[in-house]
Amino acid sequence: MLNPDINKTELNKAGNGMYELISELYPFCRSITGNGVRQTLDTLQKHIPLQINEVPAGTKAFDWEVPREWNIKDAFIKNSKGEKIIDFRKSNLHVLNYSIPVNKKVNLEELKKHVFTLPDRPDWVPYRTSYYQENWGFCMSHNQLNGLPEDTYEVFIDSDLTGGSLTYGEFFIKGDIKDEVLLSTHICHPSLCNDNLSGIALLTFLSKILNKQSLKYSYRFLFIPGTIGSIVWLSKNEDTAKRIKHGLVATLLGDDSDFTYKKSRTGNAEIDLAAEHYLKSTAIPHKTVDFFPYGYDERQYCSPGFNLPVGCLTRKQHGEFPEYHTSADNMDFVKPGRLAESLAVYLEILNILEHNATYINLNPKCEPQLGRRGLYEKIGGTNETQTMQLAALWILNMSDGKNSLLDIAIKSGIEFRIIKKSADALIECNLLKRYEI
């Protein structure tokens, strides 16, 4: 059974490990297809035995089609003196992601039509894409654009849009039962740390931990390009999707802000109850929001034709922090300690799913005499004793075959962990047993 107890030293080590992995992946120029994605997945293979899948361009996936693969070797803007004023090699954010190749001379007015900036944050460089509409362009700071004189500029993008394929990574851990927990993250953003390298790093380390434990559920980790990746995966795995009983989309997990849990489409799936209960009962600062049909890949998992119980656990949500999709989402914006905290929260929520079950009180007529049954010796001597006793009363009263341990935890407001420990003690005292339908 999953043991979420990870001591402080191990957790700090994992935090540093995730941060190091982010710094290793940071320079790669990722997109929804191409070699940056392959480099990323190859790097993850040093940590986990990830299966890498290639889906040819042109493959149909419901209403979509896998686009042509995009790769880029170099890009720059030079002024008339031959000085590079923008250099892709310094930051891959400088190129409009999925730009078509270009090699020509333009005046300032023409150049401006192809430059993206952030007037509100004049020192930062935005991240922009043009996946499904052919265009070329550059991104730079607003201050730099304002300082450009009239001149003839050489614009050069050495990119390539050919057949190729879409690449994604999948890692499956077999548990005792076939029912699955899905953990999914997008891998298509270039040099941006919180969105999405924090999700990639967290799921890599989470899967390393789970892979060493014996588990009830089977776990499926997906490292996929945003939107098109989940659509392609779902179109190829409709039968597998039926086995997904719980799921989380992971990203935005390394910054200083509080947690946000976005519920699945139904809003009352077990994952929704588990996530909300854990954050609430442990007084972790957070907010819970109802499902809405934009954001990350939960949109596809929760589309009505699938309606999977998949929520999204982040810190601040996309678009809610100024650094989002800009050059300021860099190595300074994410912290090893925050990544470690996020990892611990994921482990605790999965722990609830692993251990949640329904029990039946074997002495339902009036309260049993707990002292005579030896319960107090079993739960005594810790600072949790009082809460454990209270938990025992809740469990005995509500275990009529209709309420799971999670239902009881929610109703009582007592942390699931304590409810579970108390239930174990009641089982030892022959007061409780697993409810079999």
Q: Which residues make up the interface to Zn ion (CB under 5 A)? A: 195
If the CB atoms of residues 216 and 318 are measured against Zn ion, the closer one turns out to be 318
Residue of this chain nearest to Zn ion (CB atom)? 195
User: Sign of dihedral through CA atoms 274, 275, 278, 283?
Assistant: negative
**Structure-token pair, residue 250:** 């992971």
* Rounded CA separation 290/169 (Å): 29
Q: Phi and psi at residue 414, in whole multiples of 5°?
A: -90, 140
User: At its nearest, how many Å lie between Zn ion and the CB of residue 21?
Assistant: 19
If the CB atoms of residues 252 and 340 are measured against Zn ion, the closer one turns out to be 252
If the CB atoms of residues 44 and 197 are measured against Zn ion, the closer one turns out to be 197
If the CB atoms of residues 195 and 341 are measured against Zn ion, the closer one turns out to be 195
If the CB atoms of residues 38 and 189 are measured against Zn ion, the closer one turns out to be 189
CB 125 within 8 A of CB 326: yes
User: At its nearest, how many Å lie between Zn ion and the CB of residue 68?
Assistant: 22
User: At its nearest, how many Å lie between Zn ion and the CB of residue 53?
Assistant: 22
User: At its nearest, how many Å lie between Zn ion and the CB of residue 128?
Assistant: 11
User: At its nearest, how many Å lie between Zn ion and the CB of residue 317?
Assistant: 11
User: At its nearest, how many Å lie between Zn ion and the CB of residue 381?
Assistant: 49
Interacting residues of 352 by C-beta distance below 8 A, sequence separation 6+: 274, 277, 278, 406, 416
* Rounded CA separation 337/1 (Å): 26
User: At its nearest, how many Å lie between Zn ion and the CB of residue 91?
Assistant: 17
* Residue 430 Ramachandran class (φ > 0 left, ψ -120 to 50 alpha, else beta): left
User: At its nearest, how many Å lie between Zn ion and the CB of residue 226?
Assistant: 7
User: At its nearest, how many Å lie between Zn ion and the CB of residue 294?
Assistant: 12
User: At its nearest, how many Å lie between Zn ion and the CB of residue 252?
Assistant: 9
Nearest to 37 by CA among 21, 25, 50, 51: 25
> Maximum distance among all alpha carbons in the chain?
92
* Rounded CA separation 174/218 (Å): 5
If the CB atoms of residues 180 and 195 are measured against Zn ion, the closer one turns out to be 195
User: What is the pairing mode between strands 51-56 and 165-173?
Assistant: antiparallel
CB 340 within 8 A of CB 278: no
Give 120's Cβ-side CA count (13 Å radius).
Answer: 4
If the CB atoms of residues 163 and 319 are measured against Zn ion, the closer one turns out to be 319
Strand partners, 71: 160
If the CB atoms of residues 317 and 399 are measured against Zn ion, the closer one turns out to be 317
If the CB atoms of residues 193 and 271 are measured against Zn ion, the closer one turns out to be 193
* Rounded CA separation 125/112 (Å): 15
If the CB atoms of residues 342 and 404 are measured against Zn ion, the closer one turns out to be 342
User: At its nearest, how many Å lie between Zn ion and the CB of residue 43?
Assistant: 20
